[in-house]
Amino acid sequence: MANIQLYFFPASPFCRSVRMTAKALGVPLELKQRSYHNKDHLSPEFTKINPDQIVPTIIDGDFTLWESRAIMRYLVGKFGGEDNSLYPRDLQKRAEVDRLLDFDLGVIYRALFENLVIPLRYKKLPKTTKEQDETIMKAFGRIDTLVKDKKFLTGNNLTIADFAMVVEFADEVLYSGDMSKYPNAMAWYKRMQELPYYQEVNQPFYDLVENMKNPAETS
């Protein structure tokens, strides 16, 4: 099986969800790391590959695809076999996964990533307003409700919706509030962290946050 090329930023949530999907499927990726701060995605070379200048982007033979949710669906469709619980063929089960993917992008991403992570792009730790705190707490509370009495977001089976949402939930490391208010979400988060590939894929994000919290002293 020829390796699929993945152009990615290591700490990007969208790239991390794609990498976890590939790991879960056992699909090898030829990693093409790019630097956001060096603006590698804006280079003429990469623009020829992806005119939208975004990652993740994959190249599978003569086929190029971007947008993380499209890539996750593609990987399961191509490598997941006849029916794979990561993105099930059953119409209603698949619709539930799609709903959660859309909900994550429209609500959870905007609440957590935009309020907690965007400042990191400017090498600043987040300082949230009261209004932002309310938005963040509402997002965490919604996830807490979603996984109540469930092992994963849709039930007992791991899906690509879990991958998409957990990379946003990981932003809790930047949140100064009390996460014990969300016991169901934290239990789900722990289960996701116990996946054999979770730490490898997500460590660059945690390293970035740690470096921001404890910048190296310069002489």
Residues carrying an active site annotation: 12
- For the chain, the three-class secondary structure string (H helix, E strand, C coil) is CCCEEEEECCCCHHHHHHHHHHHHHCCCEEEEECCCCCCHHHCHHHHHHCCCCCCCEEEECCEEEECHHHHHHHHHHHHCCCCCCCCCCCHHHHHHHHHHHHHHHHHHHHHHHHHHHHHHHCCCCCCCCHHHHHHHHHHHHHHHHHCCCCCECCECCCCHHHHHHHHHHHHHHHCCCCHHHCHHHHHHHHHHHCCCCHHHHHHHHHHHHHHHHCCCCCC
What are the residues whose beta carbons fall under 8 Å from the beta carbon of 212, sequence distance 6 or more?
Answer: 120, 123, 124, 125
Distance from C-alpha of 51 to C-alpha of 59, rounded to nearest angstrom: 14
What distance in Å separates the CA atoms of residue 57 and residue 33, rounded to the nearest whole number?
11
